[in-house]
């Protein structure tokens, strides 16, 4: 009697462990990495510069090469501050836009690069 109860409990524990490690591939939100990164810096009072880069990770495992940041020229970027759109800006040849603002500092940048939409909060 005790052996059969112990065997039943052990079987249930093994079954729970085996089914709890299931891979869930149908997530509600698909995670896609942003196609660009942005560096933001203040250039004057109420003015900031945002530089957009694409990352070349082909040399990531080589300590002499590493990850290379490539500026993204001609990128259309929607800029937001406190949830309100300030405007749409196009990056220059060095991947940079300059944004002047009055009240809230811009903290959100959205656009599309190589067919992939992005929204970056800074």
Domains assigned to the chain: 27-121 (2.60.40)
Predicted local confidence at residue 31, as pLDDT: 74
Structure tokens belonging to residue 119:
């929204």
Mean pLDDT, range 79-108, rounded to an integer:
96
Nearest alpha-carbon partner for 73 in 56, 99, 54, 48 = 54
Mean pLDDT, range 9-22, rounded to an integer:
70
Q: pTM of the predicted model, to two decimals? A: 0.73
Predicted local confidence at residue 26, as pLDDT: 61
DSSP-based three-state secondary structure for 10: helix
Predicted local confidence at residue 21, as pLDDT: 59
Please, which pLDDT band fits residue 59 given cuts at 50, 70 and 90? confident
Predicted local confidence at residue 28, as pLDDT: 67
Structure tokens belonging to residue 122:
């800074």
Inter-residue contact 84 to 96 (CB < 8 Å): no
Inter-residue contact 46 to 106 (CB < 8 Å): no
């Amino acid at each position: 009697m005790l052996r059969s109860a112990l065997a039943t409990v052990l079987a249930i524990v093994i079954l729970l462990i085996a089914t709890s490690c299931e891979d869930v591939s149908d997530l509600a939100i698909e995670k896609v990495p942003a196609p660009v990164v942005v560096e933001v810096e203040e250039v004057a009072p109420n003015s900031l510069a945002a530089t957009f880069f694409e990352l070349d990770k082909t040399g990531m495992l080589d300590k002499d090469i590493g990850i290379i940041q490539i500026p993204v020229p001609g990128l259309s970027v929607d800029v937001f501050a406190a949830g309100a759109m300030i405007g749409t800006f196009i990056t220059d040849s060095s991947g940079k836009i300059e944004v002047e603002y009055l009240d809230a500092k811009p903290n959100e940048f959205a656009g599309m690069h190589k067919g992939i939409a992005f929204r970056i909060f800074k």
